[in-house]
Chain A
Amino acid sequence: MANKIQLGVSLYSFSTEFIHETLNFEQILEKAHNMGYRGVEIVAAQMVPNYPYPTDEWLAECKALLAKYELEPVCWSAYIDMGIRSDRDLTEDEIIQFTLNDLQYAKKAGFPMVRTQHAISPAIFRKMLPYCQELGVKLTIEMHHPHHPALPVWQEYLSIMKNEGKGWLGIVPDFSIFQTMPHQLYLNQSIDFGCRPEKLDEIVKMHAQKADMALIDNGDFSEIEKHIAHEMREKFSAPAKMEQWKDIIDVTEYIHGKFYYLDNDDHDPCIPFEELLTTIRDLGYEGYIASEYEGHHFDETVDSEVQLKHFVALCTKILNS
């Protein structure tokens, strides 16, 4: 089937360069342009000065810089920071205020979509619809690990998106929900934290075989090895099912092409890109998939640009297959 999917980039992929101050915001935009990207996503809490109360001047400058580097604003990423306060979670009014602010900032900076998080709640999500329509800005919820479409709260969200919210309220599936195996940077870090390499190999094999965790708990493993084995099981054992794409594709406004580490242009052993990308393409998805490199959580010595180039080559090959 002909491919109508475009690959964009989340500027969050350049987290290492941004937080270590080897690249500033404009230099990251320039790099994205030079790499051939057009559609971009910004994580506002990361890159927007004075966030969550940015100035109109900065938002206008952001819009101008995107135009200067011929970049298309695709997604303004926001959070539901439920745990800001030490004494309680955010109230409904506070969540609405933060979300409304993000919709307005996105509008000012030229972004047609805000990505929020599942903690917004179905009731508040529904209440945001008139604001979206008024501003002409879509509101989408990221479906990120450990969530998947079968959870009751997601059934409710999907119903809102498919009915009264159609065209304005949607979903951003993140490829992390399809991850089955730990990535190389995670394994390297586990060794840095004291796992013995031969024991880690054993743990990875046991993970792949879905071995009984009692074998870990009662086996010859150190505390950190047991911790890693449990974390691995918790994180990578309940991937979403490929056939669930057909239930969500009509409300999928954008996709996070999450990846952690690629050492080649051909294959990733952790996330099933071949099946994912052909499934999405064959269901007729025509939007953007963001290149979203996230290895910076684990290793700050990896060059983000090299990672992104592997990702684009891998995806392009699969999408055109």
Chain B
Amino acid sequence: MDFQAYNKILLCKTPIRNVEIDGVNVGYEFQIKYPSYRGAFLSCIEELKFWVDGNAIADGDISFALNGKEFLVGELPECFKEYWYVRTPATIRVRRHGAIGPGEHSVRVYMKHRVPYTGYFGEYLVLDSDVTGTLTTEVG
């Protein structure tokens, strides 16, 4: 099963960060990278889902930030001019009321993505990258 080792880079080990505006919490964010040896256009992402501490996050609560822009998960399949460089993390901001608590949290990322050059006989290889890791909330 080619490509499987690249799933190790999907969920970045960087801390979860609460986001505040003038002391008002507007959600929290963490980072993911594209799970491949190379970059790809965002349009190759067919599905993207997140769970934090076992709870699914609704698509509408997620903002996917990359290349100085923000996208809804539902917009990604249209982003055929937005390239995700393999070493650049995307920031996943969860726009929910209330800060995420201190300490460790379980974060699961599921990405279904098409490998765009694999259509040897018409069918593209579509990969499931499903990774769960523990991230710690940034202090201060």
Q: Does B51 contact A (CB under 8 A)?
A: no
Residues of B within 8 A of A81 (CB): 40-41, 116-117
Total residues of chain A contacting the partner, CB 8 A: 38
Cβ contact within 8 Å between B1 and A84: no
Instruction: Tell me the bound Cα distance from A231 to B6 in angstroms.
Output: 19
B28-59 residues at the A interface, CB under 8 angstroms: 33, 36-41, 43-44, 46
Partner of A300, one of B5, B115, B118: B5
Partner of A83, one of B3, B4, B85, B114: B114
Interface residue range, chain B: 20 to 34
Cβ contact within 8 Å between B117 and A12: no
Report the minimum CB–CB distance from A157 to chain B (whole Å): 15
Cβ contact within 8 Å between B78 and A86: yes
Residues of A within 8 A of B108 (CB): none
Instruction: Tell me the bound Cα distance from A282 to B119 in angstroms.
Output: 35
Q: Does A85 contact B (CB under 8 A)?
A: yes
Cβ contact within 8 Å between B1 and A231: yes
Residues of A within 8 A of B39 (CB): 45-46, 51
Taken residue by residue from 1 to 20, chain B's Cβ proximity to chain A (1 for < 8 Å, 0 otherwise) reads as 11111101100000000000
- Nearest residue (CB) in A for B115 is A83
Given contacts A45-B39, A46-B38, A52-B83, contact A298 B4 (CB under 8 A): yes
Instruction: Tell me the bound Cα distance from A302 to B37 in angstroms.
Output: 15
Residues of A within 8 A of B1 (CB): 186, 189, 193, 231, 298
Residues of A within 8 A of B117 (CB): 79-83, 117, 119
Cβ contact within 8 Å between B37 and A46: yes
Residues of B within 8 A of A43 (CB): 37-38
- A-to-B contact residues, CB < 8 Å: 12, 15-16, 18-21, 43, 45-46, 49-53, 79-86, 89, 117-119, 146-147, 186, 189, 193, 231, 296-300
A-B contact pairs, 9 of them (CB 8 A): A18-B87, A45-B38, A81-B40, A83-B117, A85-B80, A86-B46, A86-B77, A297-B6, A298-B4
